[in-house]
Amino acid sequence: MADEQIKVDVMNKLFRKNCWEAKYLSLDTLVNWLAKRVKRNGKRVRGLIRALVNEGYLLRHKGGKTLSLNPVMSKDITEYMEFFSILS
């Protein structure tokens, strides 16, 4: 899987679970769910999640152990997911 597809999958998972701001999902849950699809490459998934946090798409909670989507960037997130889902 390409890096952009993994990023879209992370955001899509949080989007489907309705994890915006105060509602969040465990980082380990996301990594374990995606590492199965990326051939057990948890380090790569963690790096891409870190990149999404640095870009402002995701917010960290509880000392970085949980993640949620950034509601301020909701329009950008939906556009990002639509753009890369069309390409794949």
**Mean pLDDT in order along the chain per 10 residues (88 residues):** 88 93 91 79 87 95 93 94 77
pLDDT at res. 17: 93
pTM, two decimals, is: 0.88
Report all structural domains of the chain as residue ranges with CATH numbers, in order of start: 3-87 (1.10.10.10)
pLDDT at res. 64: 86
pLDDT at res. 55: 95
Burial 68-80 (b: 16+ CB within 10 A, else e): bbbeebeeebeeb
